[in-house]
């Protein structure tokens, strides 16, 4: 049985720019099998759009809440997002 795919948008706040957070998100997502993208926002947050099964998205969310070694994640806002036909996980500028 094929599991239904969903999409979520994560907005991560704290010290998340200049610490390798987007690269961390790419590695975590690819390891979990999620597609989508990560980008820095002008207000200092990182935005992650991810598509995968509910279980994969929950696993990714746990990774995003911890972040890379030098990050200090203060909060992660999660909302539903439209799914698109992305084929990989990448960094957007």
| pLDDT single digits (tens) 9-57 | 999 999 999 999 999 999 999 999 999 999 999 999 999 999 999 999 9
Catalytic residue selected from 8, 15, 22, 65 = 22
Identify whether the C-beta of residue 64 lies closer than 8 Å to the C-beta of residue 75.
no
The pLDDT score that the predictor gives to residue 62 is: 98
Annotation marks residue 22 as catalytic: yes
Which helix (H) or strand (E) element contains residue 40?
Answer: strand 35-40
Annotation marks residue 27 as catalytic: no
Expressed in angstroms, the distance from the first to the final Cα of the chain is: 36
CATH class of 5-84: alpha beta
pTM higher than 0.85 for the full model? yes
Catalytic residue selected from 15, 40, 45, 65 = 40
Residues in the chain: 93
Q: Name the token pair of 4.
A: 């239904």
Strand order across the beta sheet in which 72-80 lies: 72-80, 5-15, 46-53, 35-40, 89-91
């Amino acid at each position: 049985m094929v599991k239904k795919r969903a999409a979520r948008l994560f907005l991560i706040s704290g010290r998340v720019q200049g610490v390798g957070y987007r690269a961390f998100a790419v590695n975590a997502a690819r390891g979990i099998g999620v597609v989508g993208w990560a980008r820095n926002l002008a207000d200092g947050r990182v935005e992650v759009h991810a598509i995968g099964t509910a279980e994969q998205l929950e696993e990714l969310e746990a990774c995003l809440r911890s972040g890379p070694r030098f990050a200090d994640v203060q909060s992660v806002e999660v909302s539903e997002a439209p799914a698109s036909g992305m084929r990989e996980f990448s960094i957007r500028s």
